[in-house]
Amino acid sequence: MPLFLNNDDIAQLLTMKDTMEALEILYGEMGRGIAVTAPRSDVHSPTAAAESAEGPMAHYLKSMSGASPHFGTAALRFSSDIVAWRDSGGGMRREKLPMLPGNRWMGIVMLFSSANGELLAIMNDGVLQRFRVGGANGVATKHLARQGAETVGLIGSGWQAGTQVMAVCEARRIKKIKVFSPTKTNREKFAKETSERVGVEIVPVESYQEAVKGVDIIVTSTNSRTPFLGKWALAEGMHLSAMQRDEFDDEALLSCKPLVLHTHATENNVTSSALAHFERDNFKLRDHPTDRGIDWKSLPTLPELVLGKIEGRESDRQITGFVNNIGMGAQFAAVGKKVYDAAKAKGAGREVPLEWFTQDVHP
């Protein structure tokens, strides 16, 4: 019977170790052309909510899917949100509004068995999302950072930063982390809570310049649309672990050898919209409008690195880099299976009859 698993359940069940193990296996499958990840489909349509809004708004139905033969699973992730575009100074930014009762959002991962097609679980996607993003950076750090790396400079203290810390601590024996984020109370709270969680000293600092100074690994976890870390921040032997494209500038990224991208698999993502005139005339619907001087398509990817198809770090002196440009549906098939197995072992979640989802005909 399918299990409903909410974020609290998943936070109890999923470890960063399991996440990174699952992702490493998945990247191996992807590098060998065995796992499958499909382009994301984004449907934007008019929303009645827009009538009372100041700026442009839309209903946004997102879906992505993928499969991992090793785990014997496929996953479909979808979310249904009211989004608004707001001018954040550095360009229009899309915000998801908590329109559901209790100021909530909806994002779901459905996990299927590829042995018989059965629906195994219906999971909130919030915790999974944090872990799969952190985990991808963690796998890259494991393959690229110096073996003896023990200090980290972290920029950002938001929702994603916690799993980034868990991941870097899983990849290397980290002894000290400096963290900067613009709001003092946020970085102090984050440092205290996360330090207790991972058992590593975390020190809040006053600037991002201070955070990155003299560390072995720089970890970024921001939603910046303007690169703020340049070559000045780099030192011999460093590893750069970026959560998205617009944190390190071109010169800094091109100093890395190798510079590895998460994936090219979702470059064919499809945006379907009845709001095309909005996009053309008024604002960018896309997440990543920034033009950069880097030919992203030419970069090697994490699956190639994991499989040894490209050279990783060859000396303790070179600077390595990883950019987690975008996610893949297949990650949810792999990591979701870890959650599902743990839930079954511990009796977690709420069961609903599989029969509710099945039928005695097929169209």
Contact letters (x/-) for a copy of itself, 161-180, by CB under 8 A? --------------------
Could you say which of 96, 176, 231, 288 contacts a copy of itself (CB under 8 A)? Answer: 96
Residue among 235 and 274 whose Cβ is closer to a copy of itself: 274
Q: Does 273 bind a copy of itself (CB under 8 A)?
A: yes
| Cβ–Cβ < 8 Å for 76, 63 | yes
Contacting a copy of itself within 213-272 (CB under 8 A) = 268, 270, 272
Of 345 and 361, nearer to a copy of itself (C-beta) is 361
Residue 94 contacts residue 87 (beta carbons within 8 Å)? no
Smallest gap, in angstroms, from Cβ of residue 115 to a copy of itself? 4
Site size toward a copy of itself (CB under 8 A) is 81
- Reading the block at residue 127, the tokens are 């915790």
List the beta bridge partners of residue 362. none
Residue span 288-307 as binding mask against a copy of itself, x where in contact by CB under 8 A, dash where not: --------------------
In the block, tokens 């009538």 appear at 51
Helix (H) or strand (E) holding 239: strand 239-242
x/- binding map, residues 182-221, to a copy of itself, per CB under 8 A?
A: ----------------------------------------
Distance between CA atoms of 123 and 340, rounded to whole angstroms?
9
Residue placing its CB nearer to a copy of itself in the complex, 74 or 174 = 74
- In the complex with a copy of itself, the residue whose CB is nearer, 161 or 215, is 161
Interface pick for a copy of itself out of 81, 170, 216, 249 (rule CB under 8 A): 81
Phi and psi at residue 257, to the nearest 5°: -145, 105
Q: How many CA atoms lie within 13 A of 271 on its CB side?
A: 13
What residues from 309 to 338 belong to the interface with a copy of itself (CB under 8 A)?
329
What span, in angstroms and rounded, lies between the C-alpha atoms of 32 and 38?
16
Report the nearest approach of a copy of itself to the CB of residue 66 (Å): 6
Least separation in angstroms between residue 75's CB and a copy of itself is: 8
Q: Which of residues 8-47 bind a copy of itself (CB under 8 A)?
A: 33-39, 41-47
Give the DSSP letter of residue 131. Answer: H
For residue 3, CA distances in Å to 25, 53, 108, 303, 347 come to 24, 38, 12, 31, 10
CB of 164 to a copy of itself, least distance (A): 14
* Distance in angstroms (rounded) separating the CA atoms of residues 104 and 205: 33
Q: Which stretch binds a copy of itself (CB under 8 A): 102-110, 188-196, 283-291, 309-317?
A: 102-110
Cβ distance to a copy of itself smaller for residue 4 or 228? 4
Distance of CA 227 to CAs 122, 218, 244, 287, 291, Å? 37, 14, 10, 15, 11
**What span, in angstroms and rounded, lies between the C-alpha atoms of 228 and 319?**
18
CB under 8 Å to 116, separation ≥6 — which residues?
Answer: none
Q: Does 122 bind a copy of itself (CB under 8 A)?
A: yes
Q: Is 294 helix (H, G, I), strand (E, B) or coil?
A: coil
Using CB under 8 A as the binding rule, whether residue 126 contacts a copy of itself is answered as yes
Half-sphere exposure of 189 (CA within 13 A, CB side): 8
Establish if 125 lies at the interface with a copy of itself (CB under 8 A): yes
Q: How far is the CB of 33 from a copy of itself (least distance, A)?
A: 6
Judged by CB under 8 A, which stretch of 56-64, 149-157, 175-183, 301-309 contacts a copy of itself?
A: 56-64
> Rounded distance, CA 325 to CA 262, Å?
6
DSSP label of 314: -
Nearest C-alpha neighbor of 132 from the set 100, 109, 156? 109
Q: What is the smallest separation between the CB atom of 125 and a copy of itself, expressed in angstroms?
A: 6
Q: Cβ of residue 237: shortest distance to a copy of itself, in angstroms?
A: 33
